[in-house]
Every structure is written in structure tokens, then in C-alpha cells.
Chain A
Amino acid sequence: GAVVSQHPSWVICKSGTSVKIECRSLDFQATTMFWYRQFPKQSLMLMATSNEGSKATYEQGVEKDKFLINHASLTLSTLTVTSAHPEDSSFYICSASLGRGEEPYNEQFFGPGTRLTVL
């Protein structure tokens, strides 16, 4: 099956610093990657959708200057949380898909997630 990795698995940083999270599709080329955030006991919240070589599409309420997304290749997308603050502490999950309408069923393959704690 398709495998997506994330790095790091967890990170603790000081308020005001920037943190970069990598998402890689290991055995397939991901046309589209998605970044989600999940707070405790809540469902996944889509932050942005990124297609290789183009700018990410951010969901309403997500600051694009704070959450920088780069999808430089078909196997790598990065999310940088700039000037992180304690309220940014969350579980960040990426997923990857082959793209629109791709068989077998447009499945999104999830990375293991990155737990960010901002002190």
C-alpha cells in the first residue's frame, strides 16, 4: 500500500520560533497533498491543499503567511509554522493522494502525524 511519512513525529519549541514539518510519499507520486490540524477530542480540520508546483489553497481562517506550505516535488510537501505560539500547539497530519478522480477511489493516504508543543 501507499506509504506517507512525516518528520518529525513530535517537536517542542519556544514561542516565537519557526518549525518545519516534512511530508513525504514514499512509494508513489502524490499530485495533491493535504495538511490537517487536529485539536484534542476534535475532528480533523483541513488547513490547506497543495498541488505540486503551484501555490497552496488555504481554507478560510487559516493564515497563509503563518503556515507556509511548499510542495516542491511529487513526493515532498513541507509545512512551516512561523513564529509559533502556544495556541499553535496541535497534532498536524498530512495526507497525499494521486489526484482528482484517480482510481481506485481517490483515497487519501495519511502520514503518522506530528505533535507540536509550543512553550
Chain B
Amino acid sequence: GQNIDQPTEMTATEGAIVQINCTYQTSGFNGLFWYQQHAGEAPTFLSYNVLDGLEEKGRFSSFLSRSKGYSYLLLKELQMKDSASYLCALMDSNYQLIWGAGTKLIIKP
């Protein structure tokens, strides 16, 4: 089966950097996604990794290590609007997304 773990909640300061970790166990793998979800809204796509390494996109970067079953989302120059839940999702061998429970990120001034 599959299993995804990520911290429930994190707090960071405006302007700082935060790293949200995601570990997973799966028998089939077609990539790992990170989504951002503000309260009461649908998730929005942030990043996709299928090969090992770091993908950078503006203030957000995502890293994947398939051998370790590990990914992280790195957010730089935090802004108040970055306060949201960040969902790690694994795409399995059937191309279905398996969702983590999400990490609620709280940004303080």
C-alpha cells in the first residue's frame, strides 16, 4: 500500500525560509506533487518532481529523493499570503493521486 507523512502544522516568520518535508512509501511511483490550499478553496498546483533533484520555481522549490522516499517544499522570502495548507501528493502506478494530510503553514509578522 501507500503511506504519506507530513507535519501537521508549522510556523514561520515573514521574510524567512521554511522547509516542509514529506516522506512516503509506495510500490508504484509516477511522480510527486505539491499543492497549496487556502482555507475554503480548492488546491492549486505548485510543483511536480519525478526525477531526483531540486526543481526551482521562483520563491518555491521542491526536492525529491526516490531512494529515500522523501520530498520537501522550500518556500523563500515568506509572505503573509503564503499562509495556507501545503499538500504533498503521490501519483501511483495507476496515475491516481494519493494525498497527504497537509501541513498548515502559519506565517507571523
- Chain A residues at the B interface, C-beta cutoff of 8 Å: 34, 42-46, 49, 91, 93, 97, 100-101, 105-113, 115
Q: Is the interface of B mostly helix, strand, loop or mixed?
A: loop
* Contact between chains at A43 and B42 (CB < 8 Å): no
A34: B residues at CB distance < 8 A? 96-97
B97: A residues at CB distance < 8 A? 34, 46, 108
* Contact between chains at A105 and B50 (CB < 8 Å): yes
Q: How far is the CA of A106 from the CA of B101 in the complex (A)?
A: 21
A110: B residues at CB distance < 8 A? 42-44
- The interface size bin for chain B is 20 to 34
Report 14 cross-chain contacts, Cβ distance below 8 Å, ordered by A residue: A34-B97, A42-B101, A43-B99, A44-B87, A91-B40, A97-B95, A105-B31, A105-B48, A105-B50, A106-B91, A109-B45, A112-B42, A113-B41, A113-B42
* Contact between chains at A43 and B96 (CB < 8 Å): no
Most chain B C-beta atoms within 10 Å of own C-beta, residue among A49, A100, A101, A108: A108
Tell me how far the C-beta of B37 lies from the nearest C-beta in chain A, rounded to whole angstroms: 8
* Contact between chains at A106 and B31 (CB < 8 Å): yes
A108: B residues at CB distance < 8 A? 97
B95: A residues at CB distance < 8 A? 97, 100-101, 106
Point out the residue from A42, A101, A107 that lies within 8 Å of B45, measured CB to CB.
A107
* Chain B, 1-34, CB within 8 A of any chain A CB: 30-31, 33
Most chain A C-beta atoms within 10 Å of own C-beta, residue among B30, B43, B48, B87: B43
* Contact between chains at B42 and A111 (CB < 8 Å): yes
Tell me how far the C-beta of B97 lies from the nearest C-beta in chain A, rounded to whole angstroms: 6
A42: B residues at CB distance < 8 A? 101
Chain B residue with Cβ nearest A111: B42
